[in-house]
Structure 1
Amino acid sequence: MSSKYGGCACGSVRYKVSGNPLSVHACHCTDCQTLSGSAFGLSMLLNAADIELTRGEPGINDFTASRDRMLRHYCPDCGVALWFSSPGDSSIVAVKPGTLDDTSSLRPIAHMWVRSAQPWLQLGDDVPVFQEQPTLAELLELAKKAGFG
């Protein structure tokens, strides 16, 4: 993948992604619905070393989603969430793909936590679905088959 750029809505925080995504997936858990303000949250997993700040400094808030402690990296001026990380594993980050300048090439390889999906949402048969959380190994295996990584 060639470098991709992204940032917040106001432009105060900008970043560059230099590596290939490990995965792009849609999560329908109630935490992601709340955090995204939408029917699901879209995430792009990356090696943390593949994201570089090019402008500004994100704020970080520490919170617990379900049972997992998370760090939300966001613009302190406009509040847009840029990526999430885990204090227990700082090697991988979950970038919010909507903050990329160009999202046209991104396709989710899985839908997870569909047991919590909105009842009106119609999912196609072309992307695997998980009723709950797949293991990271399962997700990365799907991503490998889809040409990620």
Structure 2
Amino acid sequence: MKRDGQCLCGAVRVALAREPQAVNMCHCADCQRRTGAPFGMALWLMEADVTISGETRPFVHLSDKGRELTNRFCPNCGSTICFTAALNPGLIAIPAGLFADPDTPPPLRSVFEERRHPWVAVPEGATRLPRGRDG
């Protein structure tokens, strides 16, 4: 199934050629700050399966585990368009909110649970990891 999304102002568009390999909800401090919400939710795919059109700007920083992350955002409206992690070469994460689609698949994993706000519900059956994929 092809999915199309866009930033808030519509200057940057994202097209997915296939369904995501993984869907995560992340409660880390970076995702909370990046989204302005209690967690971030992203669809992970191979970079070759994602087409991004329009200008984006990078912001490179280190995660709380000291690993390099690159967020790309729309320079007009500030929406996060994607992010990549040095830990996952060849993969790209697309924020679920860009699709504004209630049919977006639910998260299969909830990561950095140690920072999860206690009132945030995690879908039944999702794998729950206290500190990311490597525990």
TM-score, L = length of structure 1: 0.80
Give CA-to-partner distance per residue, 1:32-68, whole Å, 9 cap, x none.
1111111111111010001112x41211121222111
Question: In structure 2, the residue corresponding to 1:106 is in which secondary structure?
Answer: coil
Q: Which amino acid aligns with 2:15?
A: K
Aligned to 1:130: 129
Question: In structure 1, the residue corresponding to 2:62 is in which secondary structure?
Answer: strand
Cα distance change on mapping 1:88 and 1:126 into 2, 3 Å: closer
Aligned to 2:2: 3
Q: CA deviation at 1:131?
A: 1.3
Q: CA deviation at 1:27?
A: 0.9
Aligned to 1:147: none
Paired residues of 1:22 and 1:45 also in contact (CA < 8 A):
yes
Aligned to 2:68: 69
For structure 2, the residue ranges without an aligned partner over 5 or more in a row are none
- Count how many residue pairs are aligned between Structure 1 and Structure 2: 134
Structure ranking higher in helix proportion: 1
Q: Which amino acid aligns with 1:9?
A: L
For structure 1, the residue ranges without an aligned partner over 5 or more in a row are 139-149
Equivalent-residue separation in structure 2 for 1:105 and 1:88 (angstroms): 25
1:15-30 matched pairs, under 5 angstroms: 15-30=14-29
Paired residues of 2:26 and 2:111 also in contact (CA < 8 A):
yes
Question: In structure 2, the residue corresponding to 1:57 is in which secondary structure?
Answer: coil
Question: In structure 1, the residue corresponding to 2:59 is in which secondary structure?
Answer: strand
Q: Aligned-residue CA RMSD in angstroms?
A: 2.0
1:51-70 matched pairs, under 5 angstroms: 51-53=50-52, 55-66=53-64, 67-70=66-69
